Each structure stands twice: as C-alpha cells, then as structure tokens.
Structure 1
Amino acid sequence: MTAPNQPDRLPTYFVSHGGGPWPWIKDLMPGDMGKLEKSLQDIPRELGVTPRAILAVSGHWEESEFTVQTNPHPPMLYDYGGFPDFTYRIQYPAPGAPDVAARVGQLLDEAGIPTRYDAQRGYDHGVFAPFFVMYPDADVPILQLSLRSGYDPAAHLAAGRALAPLRDEGVLIVGSGFSYHNLRNFGPRAAHDSKAFGDWLTEAVVEVSPQERTQRLLRWDTAPSARAAHPAEDHLVPLMVAVGAAEDEAGVRIYHEPDFMGSVDSSSYRFGALPGRAGARA
C-alpha cells in the first residue's frame, strides 16, 4: 500500500505518447500536434522539481518477465516504419540509470515478482518521442521497464505497487502508451470507439474512488468498445503500473483531445499530488 502523500513525493503519470517520431515531423503529421506537445511540456513545469531519474514503462517493450534496462548509455531503437530517412538518425542521448535499475530489481524481487535485466536495450519511440518534448536537453536519466507478456492487469498493478517507494526517492514513474490504440481503425471510424472507451477510462481512473478504480481496471475489457479501442492492450497496460504505484491516491486528467489526428479521443493522466501539494488533486 502507498503511504499518505508526502510533500516531496512525486506523482505518477500515464501519457498518450503520439505516433512514431512525431516531434521531429510535426508538419507531416495529420492534424495539429500542438495540444499533445503542450501537455507534455507542462509536466516538468507542474512538477516544479527535476527528477533524479525517470522509470518509463513503454507499450513498445514486452518480455516474458518484467525486464529492467541497465544500459548506462542506451542507444536508439527505431521501432517504426515508413517515415523520412532522417528520423532513423534521431538521437536522444539521455543517460541510463543503472543504480536505479538495481533498485527496481530489488523492489520487484522483494515483492516476489520475477525480474530480468537487459544491458543492451535501447530507447524505443514510446520513450524518446515524449521525453524529447518533456526534457529536450536529454539531461534526466531514463531507464525502461518492460511489460510482461500476457498483459495481465493484476500483474502490472502489482509491479506498480512494488515500485511505489521510488516516488520518495526522486524517481518519476511514467507509463507511456495511448488511451486508444487500434492502428487498423485510425481515422474517421475511430471516433465512436475511442470516445466510448475514453469516456469510460476517464470515469474509471478519475471519477471513482481509488479502490473502485483498481477493480474497474482489472475488468477493463468489459468496458464499452474496449476491444475496438485496444485489440491488444500493450498501449493500455502501462497505465496499470502508474496506477499501482499510486493506488490509494486520486487521479486527474491532464490532457484531453477529442479529435487527435482528426478523429481519435486521446487522454493522459496524473496520479497523486504534485510535490509540496499533499492532498491536492491538481
């Protein structure tokens, strides 16, 4: 269980990270990326403190067991296709955080959660795209934690619970995914399903009690348009880790766009109070 909020405790976040290398090709993307960009830029400003490190859980890394990135200088992983040649030479040279990786492994081990380590893994675009917007100087260390195959909500909530002490140690926990992720239905047809699921998701993580929030997330696939919004829930499960690490604390929607890229209802959320504002919702 997470202890009552402390003034210097960091909240957790779930961010909708956009598509591919979008910060470098905003003029080529359908629709205006400005609202998403501003929402990400606002996170460091609202925190008011620079994290010691960021633990990122990206929808683009999945392993059979939770796996921790230990590389002190992670390379780039261009896990997208069909974009201009220069986007395969983008560099975001944020340092890794092997010391925090060891602490992550310790906490998961103490919780009885099997854990592996990967010294080669680079930053995928679920990390380097949003964090380039948030911290363009690449001066905050970042490490990734993989998803676990099968996408069991309970397992990812449990991982978040185990990692909650990091919030008192200056580590910002960020789930990076998308509130709607159906690439085969990305266009005008997405409007209904993304809104139906998005309305449910915001109610589930913001409007109900933290206890009820957990129960609803465990049953997320019964929500309206759930499987139309997430045929595979790789971009939703990072939310579970962020919620688990702040399970007894309120959530707030920090970004909402009903027509992202012209048609998709898209949201991001924060869980827990901002540093120095214990008990506050915003």
Structure 2
Amino acid sequence: MLPSFFIAHGAPSLAIEQHAYTEFLQKLAKSIPAPKAIVLFSAHWEGPVQKISSAIHLETIYDFSGFSEKLYDIKYPAKGDLTLSLHIQRLFQEEGIRCELDDERGLDHGAWAPLYIMYPDAQIPVVALSVNPRLTAEEHYRIGAALGPLRDEDVLILGSGGTVHNLRRLDQNNPVPQVWAVEFDEWLAEQLETWNLDALVRYDERAPNAREAVPTPEHFVPLLLALGAADTTRRAKLLHHSFQMGTLSLCCWMFGGMRKS
C-alpha cells in the first residue's frame, strides 16, 4: 500500500529551481516504491464536474506567462492509462460522484512541474483529475476517499496545490516567512497530525488568517483530496516545510503511511 501525498507546486519556475524543496522532491520519489501509475489532482484544472483525463498521450500545457523561456523548452511526455481512468470512473460512480472522462486534457504546470522533478523520465503513466472549488470541504474529502482503494493497487495519489497561496501578498525580496502565513500553516499542521476533520472542514472559519492564506480555495482543495484518500488509515506526517517570497508555502504531507498489503 502506498501513501497519498499533498505536494506544493509553488510557482511554475519550480521546475528549473534548485533548492531544499526541489532536492526533497527528488529524494522523496526515490524513497517510495515505484508506483504502477500516478493519479494527480491539480489546482490548475478547475471545473463544475469531476473530470478524469483519458488521453493516451498527455500534452504539456504552458498555462502561465511572464516566466523564464526555459520553461517552454520543458516537455513532460507522460502517457495516460485508459484502463485506470475507467477504473477511477467506476469508483466515483459507486459513490454517487458525478464525473466525466476527458480525452483532450493534458498536464498543466501544477501537474508536470512537480512530476518533472520527481520522475523526470516520464515513464510512469499519469491520470490527471480536476478540482471543483465550489464544493464543500466535506465533499472534497469524500472524493478523495473514493480513490482510497487505489493505494492497495500501487497507484500513487498526489494532490498538487498550496496551503498558503496568496499571490497578492508575495514579497520577492523577503526570504523570511511572514507571521500570519506561519500561523496558518502551524494551525493546519496541528489539525492534520491529529486528523481533526471537524476543524479541517471548517478551516475557513477556524484557522487563524484563513482569508489571507486561502483567498480562493482551488489550491487548498488538493490537500483535502489527498487527505481523504487515506481515510482508512488516518495518519499524517509533515515531510517538508519551507517558504518562498515571504508567504508562498512549500510543504509536503504524507497521508496513510506505507504498509505491506
């Protein structure tokens, strides 16, 4: 059984950066058994209905501007896995979760940037999943839980987003994290480590500085999805935590742990 993970994808430039977090992601991929496939929820694929990528070849999408031209030279030629896509569709349908296959969608930078660091040879099949920020936190957790059985099938479930993600509060010249951002992540860590679902699903009301840390929910949603995927084991461990530009949180959480099937 594989754990599920929440990984912060930072800015698109993460793919060409070299620092403690990128080194951590490289080591993380080597520290866990090679998965048969990767299922990834990206904050940058939003929609009113749960979408499941079903393309055979996944296009590298450059959904950003104003960054280094080097990023446009990166290709992440991952293949899809139609059998897995159909399996995910059935898992959702069994739980009454409305979903649709999408045979055109490729991988946005929320997906390919961290994967390019973790699995640069792009040899592991990938199925991308959308997020719906309009759903409740409880609904996101339920969607993640529906995919829990995949962990027993050596499928790696990743939620890619950011816990503190307020682009208006970034400070390019400040390496020191701001107090309000640290306070939010510390509160979040306490709730995750105790699996306090009552508090987590009401983070917007209970967490300090929630409106500043999460001005819009799409980047927080993948955390709840990855959390739900480990509902049967309910263990959380913070593996890495750092900040960029004063407020951009770069963290990785492992949910469920690893155990023999």
- Report the TM-score when normalising by structure 1: 0.86
Amino acid across the alignment from 1:215 = D
Aligned to 1:241, which of 198, 222, 225?
Answer: 225
Amino acid across the alignment from 1:255 = H
Alignment of 1:157-236 (within 5 A): 157-187=141-171, 188=174, 191-206=178-193, 208=194, 210=195, 212=196, 214-222=197-205, 223-236=207-220
Unaligned runs of 5+ in 1: 1-8, 27-32
Partner of 1:96: 80
Q: Alignment length, in residue pairs?
A: 256
TM-superposed CA distance for 1:22, in Å, is: 2.4
Partner of 1:268: 252
Q: Distance in 1 between matches of 2:165 and 2:246?
A: 15
Deviates more, 1:79-88 or 1:178-187: 79-88
1:67-97 Cα offsets, whole Å, 9 max, x none, are 0000110101111110133422320111111
Q: Describe the SS at the equivalent of 1:267.
A: strand
For the Cα contact (< 8 Å) 1:65–1:148, is it kept in 2? yes
Alignment of 1:57-72 (within 5 A): 57-72=41-56
Q: Distance in 2 between matches of 1:149 and 1:254?
A: 26
For the Cα contact (< 8 Å) 1:69–1:143, is it kept in 2? yes
For the Cα contact (< 8 Å) 1:151–1:237, is it kept in 2? no
TM-superposed CA distance for 1:34, in Å, is: 1.3
Identity %: 35
Partner of 1:10: 2
Q: Describe the SS at the equivalent of 1:60.
A: strand
Q: Distance in 2 between matches of 1:77 and 1:53?
A: 20
Amino acid across the alignment from 2:8 = S
Partner of 2:112: 128
Unaligned runs of 5+ in 2: none
Q: Describe the SS at the equivalent of 1:273.
A: coil
Deviates more, 1:97-106 or 1:34-43: 34-43
Q: Distance in 2 between matches of 1:158 and 1:177?
A: 18
Amino acid across the alignment from 1:177 = G
Q: Describe the SS at the equivalent of 1:144.
A: strand
Q: Distance in 2 between matches of 1:227 and 1:78?
A: 29
For the Cα contact (< 8 Å) 1:186–1:264, is it kept in 2? yes
Partner of 2:238: 253
Amino acid across the alignment from 2:201 = L
TM-superposed CA distance for 1:256, in Å, is: 1.0
2:12 counterpart of 1:20: yes
For the Cα contact (< 8 Å) 2:21–2:250, is it kept in 1? no
2:61 counterpart of 1:107: no
Partner of 2:22: 37
For the Cα contact (< 8 Å) 2:38–2:127, is it kept in 1? yes
Amino acid across the alignment from 2:65 = G
1:100-145 Cα offsets, whole Å, 9 max, x none, are 1111100000000000111100100011110111101111111111
Amino acid across the alignment from 1:18 = G
Amino acid across the alignment from 2:30 = R
Q: Describe the SS at the equivalent of 1:91.
A: coil
Q: Distance in 1 between matches of 2:136 and 2:255?
A: 21
